[in-house]
Structure 1
Amino acid sequence: MNKTDRLLAIVLELQSREVVRGEDLADLFDTSVRTIYRDIQALSEAGVPIIGAPGTGYSLMKGYFLPPISFTVEEAVTLLIGTDFIEQRFDDEYRVRAQAARRKIEAILSESVRNETTRVRKALRLLTPGKRVALSKEREYFEKIRRAILAERKIRFHYSKGIGDSKGNHHRDRTVAPYGLVLVEGSWMLVARCDLRQDIRHFRLSRMTELVDLEERFELPAHFNLKEYTPSDDRHLRVRLRFNHDIADKVKESNYHYMEDMEEHQDGLHVVLRVRQLDELLQWVLGWGAGVIVLEPESFRNWIREEAQKMLKRY
């Protein structure tokens, strides 16, 4: 990065944060602290109202704003693809905002950059998920939950777990304090404190029905940070499978989230998975038909055998 680009980047960084230390700027731009000091001095001499001193941090005088001067083709493409993604996967309000943002970005591009950006974007495409009905419901719930998070209000919904509890129940009403939304493998997941479990739990929006806003308020814990949040891993059951060579590439491409390790052997692709309950793997393993063999545990191997016998009786 040359000096001119770095000076602009420093101003933009100061615009986005209240106080920035010289050491942090040096790390960010991969240069020395002494160089940052000289850059700050150069900006001040050029009329940029920077407050602060070496060792304490720098900030811009309140009210000062420097709009972006220009975008490179790569920067413009990145921003425009971002608006495409938001338009596809967020709710109606954000979809409208994404369209407006795209028009503003395109309006300030130079003709040459705009033409080149259009050419690059024609070679890239984000595919919308095929399940339109499910996606529409997910968008509707996304908007309700997003508003509840901002208003710090609890929500209630009917939730389908897919795996029953000890009494065989697969559905249960949940009242939760919504903490945040996370996109996991193309599906939105709610991170929330569940009143029933008295702990943080994760809920797929696609499994929710009858979602309603509540008047009850909650307060987000001061120590909770969604970006730093790491869920506890309680997947203690280890399953080992062997896949035929002819489907090994498809197994790898599936990128199944329970996979922990895989290794090519002479007799096939060996895959290790970790799950909470064997039920979570049953349908996925059966889906590979005769191309997979359960090596361990023996109980799961027997279960697959029993399911295969039931299937054979149907035919």
Structure 2
Amino acid sequence: MNDHYLKKLDRVTAILTQLQSKPIVRAQDLAQKFEVSVRTIYRDVKTLENAGIPIVGEAGSGYSLMDGYKLPPVMFTKEEVLSFITAEKLMQKFLHQSLGNHYQTAMEKVRSVLKYSDKNLIENIEKQIDVYNYHPKTEDNIKNVIPIILESIAEKKQLTMEYKTMDSKISTRTIEAVGVFFEFNYWYIMAFCTLRNDFRQFRVDRILQIFKTQNPFLQEYGQINDYRKSGNGNKTTVKLLVEKKIMNHLVNSKKYYGLIDEVDTENGVELTFETEWINDGFPRWLITFADYATILEPEILQTKLNDLLIKISGKHK
């Protein structure tokens, strides 16, 4: 069997796996995933149909397996089994506690369908992999908070919650959750807040109570990254010239503080930000590397930084 037919066999098998794991699969998405033409995908689907797989749908719309059709358990390659072990170690360190039991149960089901040799492989190698996390996990006030949030997104139902703000004030909010994300060791909800009539992000560990209502969403939402990129509130453009030798220390934080452009110059790296935190958050971050940076604009940032330095100096005389 030549290389062309081996690739086709691998691709057709992978398409069958996609059909097993999703309610509907578009030919365009498959073509992009496997880096082939849409016409090639059509031929691959026809190959599956000729093999007796009952596929519902047609070219141009999407494909799915006939409801009720069952296939034998999926077999995993050795490389996939090793990736499961690594992923499990990562999840043990970073998984939100409200998802922990569900993930553990899911992994037990995965292990149950592995070949005997693969089970031995896991037993022999899982103690040789570890992930070190130097940040303590945050503790939730309630159980199953993220599953409740995800259910509300899937069902497009509003949530009502009691939330403790940064200054320890408690407020009741009705929100329409767009998604959840993990950043700087905390889980957040990105949501439309009906009280503020705008998009907000809420730290999950500050939720005191949360309930899924029967009220439907007021509007349709896109992907979570659409809202995280656009942000909300009034933004200020900031430009800094930073020495190249410290750029490695800013890899993660610069994006958090609104980086939109980065240009290498002879004198350093010119960073452009759009930030909502010009009055407090941005100056406090800048002070951590201010001796390696020059403020190009705006002047107000220089004023804010100087005021902060004077305040710090006065407290530590």
Q: 1:65 maps to which residue?
A: 70
Q: 2:306 maps to which residue?
A: 305
Q: Contact 1:77–1:117 at 8 Å: present in 2 too?
A: yes
Deviation of 1:275 (Å):
0.8
Q: 1:202 maps to which residue?
A: 201
Q: Tell me, in whole angstroms, the C-alpha distance in 2 between the residues paired with 1:51 and 1:249.
A: 51
Q: 1:182 maps to which residue?
A: 180
Q: 1:191 maps to which residue?
A: 190
Q: 1:276 to 1:111 in 2, by over 3 A?
A: same
Q: 1:147 to 1:272 in 2, by over 3 A?
A: same
Q: 1:290 to 1:108 in 2, by over 3 A?
A: same
Deviation of 1:11 (Å):
2.1
Structure 1 stretch displaced more, 60-69 or 215-224 = 215-224
Q: 1:154 maps to which residue?
A: 159
Q: Identity percentage over the alignment?
A: 25
For 1:74, the aligned partner's letter is: E
Q: How many residues align?
A: 302
Structure 1 stretch displaced more, 117-126 or 56-65 = 117-126
Q: Contact 1:177–1:194 at 8 Å: present in 2 too?
A: yes
Residue aligned with 1:136, SS: coil
Structure 1 stretch displaced more, 92-101 or 213-222 = 213-222
For 1:72, the aligned partner's letter is: T
Q: Contact 1:242–1:271 at 8 Å: present in 2 too?
A: yes
Q: 1:293 to 1:153 in 2, by over 3 A?
A: same
Whether 1:276 aligns to 2:279 is: no
For 1:193, the aligned partner's letter is: F
Which deviations, in whole Å up to 9, do the C-alpha atoms of 1:81-128 show, x marking residues without a partner? 444444444444531232233333334334555566677766754443
Question: Which among 94, 98, 101 is matched to residue 99 of structure 2?
Answer: 94
Structure 1 stretch displaced more, 190-199 or 237-246 = 237-246
Q: 1:167 maps to which residue?
A: none
Deviation of 1:297 (Å):
1.8
For 1:109, the aligned partner's letter is: L
Structure 2 runs not aligned, ≥5 long: 1-5
Q: Tell me, in whole angstroms, the C-alpha distance in 2 between the residues paired with 1:80 and 1:261.
A: 37
Deviation of 1:246 (Å):
4.5
Q: 2:241 maps to which residue?
A: 242
Whether 1:220 aligns to 2:217 is: yes
Residue aligned with 2:217, SS: coil
Structure 1 stretch displaced more, 215-224 or 117-126 = 117-126
For 1:242, the aligned partner's letter is: L
Q: 2:54 maps to which residue?
A: 49
Q: 1:92 to 1:253 in 2, by over 3 A?
A: closer
Q: 1:93 to 1:197 in 2, by over 3 A?
A: closer
Structure 1 stretch displaced more, 179-188 or 261-270 = 261-270
Q: 1:127 to 1:67 in 2, by over 3 A?
A: farther
TM-score by length of 1: 0.75
Q: Contact 1:91–1:142 at 8 Å: present in 2 too?
A: no
Q: Tell me, in whole angstroms, the C-alpha distance in 2 between the residues paired with 1:56 and 1:153.
A: 31
Q: Tell me, in whole angstroms, the C-alpha distance in 2 between the residues paired with 1:293 and 1:68.
A: 60
1:256-275 matched pairs, under 5 angstroms? 256-257=255-256, 258-275=258-275
TM-score by length of 2: 0.75
